[in-house]
Amino acid sequence: MEANHRDGFSLTLPLMSDDNKQEYNNNGLSTKIEEVESNHSSQATGSTSFFKTCFNGLNALSGVGILSVPYALATGGWLSLILFFAIATAAFYSGLLIKRCMDFDSNIRSYPDIGERAFGNKGRMIVSIAMYTELYLVSAGFLILEGDNLYNMFPNDGFEVAGLIIGGKQCFVLIVALVILPTVWLDNMSLLSYVSASGVLASAIIICSILWTGAFDGVGFRQKGELINWNGIPTAMSLYAFCYCAHPVFPSLYTSMKKKHQFSNVLILCFVICTIGYASMAVFGYLMFGTRVQSQITLDLPTGKLSSRIAIYTTLVNPLAKYALMVTPIIDAVKNGFPIPWFLNKRFFGLIIGTTLVISSVIVALLVPFFASLMSLVGAFFSVTASIIIPCICYLKISGIYRTFNCEIVIVAVTILMGVAVTIIGTYTSVLDILVNMKM
């Protein structure tokens, strides 16, 4: 998910639009974070067609979660697919609630605006913290993903610097960080945004390549797997939730549409296609590698096969472009939310913030090099909070339906309870897994 803007280019604005001469509101930036998030909104009158909005929605929902769903299924067993479809349904419903919140107030342009409309500045702050923390941890996950896959392709023993031994995976994390660092310094992110828009295509290529590997490169689909593994259910549902963390982008998609009444159909189409894609990858990956499947299915592929290399290289390229898009909203929030030292200009201040974020995310990736556990934590706590719980609670407050008892409030309450259960159980399990792995 991408949010906010940098020097005139809004990362939450659709990557494809029918109006190539749109003007973005870049005026009135104050020194407060809450005003930063409002000013990245798109034009008052949308111009994006139904199909292009669908493309943008599919790109938002298509992410690295597709690599971990086979592991999630292997962890929870076949019956955990019930939880997967339940989480997908809850995420779709909360997406509809975001639309309804925006219908109540035409001044709502961004996701934090919904929090402010419901609960004032405190609501905006909570939404912003959840959104930015999720972006930061996902960016750290990108570094772990890159390091794992590069080490799988080019295994080495690392090197020694001043008596400090840097292992193979850690070495690749540092190299990737150095490659990514200049992209964080860019003023115009439009090129990287269009590269990252290949998320839909990348997901399709990965699925097709892995299917080809299973069908024609000798791997096969012969594993039976387990019906259910109760101990793995918390991790499974956390990783499932991580697949549906695009909700902060939905307000911008809705605002950009020419025919806003069609947004519900956009959500239906996007969620159906992405859910089929995620479920297909989970099932075929589990049938290929069974309970032995790793946290990223690309780590199990035979590296000598062309189809495997295509899947791995596609996996490597996309995060390189998306990393800068993930951290740019954080850079903008800090740059515009805190006073700039008198001896620095705004440009140089942004460079320092961006560099600091990259360095800190490298430290996180080196200290917590467990992709599945970290993404489980992101999915359980931040994705569920931002994509399921917050939309439901804000809708209750904005609509005022909490004052009456009807079928709708029951559905919203059940959705909230499910989200809270996933958050508590999944977060506890993820943190425990991280602590156990760090002690090993």
Q: What is the mean pLDDT of residues 275-287?
A: 95
Which tens digits make up the pLDDT trace of 89-146?
999 999 999 999 999 988 888 899 999 999 999 999 999 999 999 989 999 999 999 9
186, 323 in Cβ contact below 8 A? no
106, 41 in Cβ contact below 8 A? no
Task: Name the nearest CA neighbour of 98 among 390, 383, 391.
Answer: 391
Find all residues with CB under 8 Å of 192, minimum gap 6, and list them: 183, 186, 321, 322, 324, 325
In degrees, to the nearest 5, what angle opens at C-alpha 82 toward C-alphas 419 and 311?
Answer: 95
Q: How far apart are CA 206 and CA 319, in angstroms?
A: 14
Burial of 25 per CB tally in 10 Å (0-12, 13-18, 19+): middle
Which tens digits make up the pLDDT trace of 373-389?
999 999 999 999 999 99
**At residue 38, what are phi and psi to the nearest 5 degrees?**
-75, -35
pLDDT, residue 97, reads: 96
Which tens digits make up the pLDDT trace of 155-180?
876 666 666 667 778 889 999 999 99
In angstroms, how far apart are the furthest CA atoms of the chain?
A: 68
Task: Name the nearest CA neighbour of 352 among 331, 337, 366.
Answer: 331
229, 76 in Cβ contact below 8 A? yes
Burial of 397 per CB tally in 10 Å (0-12, 13-18, 19+): middle
Question: What's the CA dihedral at 245, 247, 252, 256 to 10 degrees?
Answer: 100
Tell me what the pLDDT averaged over the chain comes to: 84
22 pLDDT tier (thresholds 50, 70, 90): very low
The residue segments making up the domain with residue 251 are 51-438
Instruction: Please report which helix (H) or strand (E) contains residue 160, including its range.
Output: strand 159-161
Which tens digits make up the pLDDT trace of 284-343?
999 999 999 999 999 999 988 899 999 999 888 878 778 887 888 888 888 777 777 777
- Residue with the two structure tokens 């019930």: 82
Which tens digits make up the pLDDT trace of 176-195?
999 999 888 876 656 666 66
Residue 44 lies in a domain: no
Most confident of 14-28, 50-64, 128-142: 128-142
Find all residues with CB under 8 Å of 305, minimum gap 6, and list them: 213, 217
CA distances from 340 to 69, 114, 182, 329 (A): 43, 28, 22, 17
pLDDT, residue 164, reads: 65
Residue 358 has pLDDT above 70, yes or no: yes
Least confident interval from 73-82, 220-229, 309-318: 309-318
Bigger pLDDT: 35 vs 247: 247
pLDDT, residue 420, reads: 97
Residue 172 lies in a domain: yes
Residue 21 lies in a domain: no
Residue 13 lies in a domain: no
| Residue 95 in tokens | 């997406």
Q: How many domains does the chain have?
A: 1
265, 50 in Cβ contact below 8 A? yes
Residue 29 lies in a domain: no
- Residue with the two structure tokens 């772990």: 144
Under DSSP, the state recorded for 343 is T
Residue 23 lies in a domain: no
pLDDT, residue 189, reads: 59
Q: What is the mean pLDDT of residues 426-431?
A: 96
Q: How far apart are CA 80 and CA 86, in angstroms?
A: 10
Residue 198 has pLDDT above 90, yes or no: no
Residue 42 lies in a domain: no
Looking up residue 427, the CATH number of its domain turns out to be 1.20.1740.10
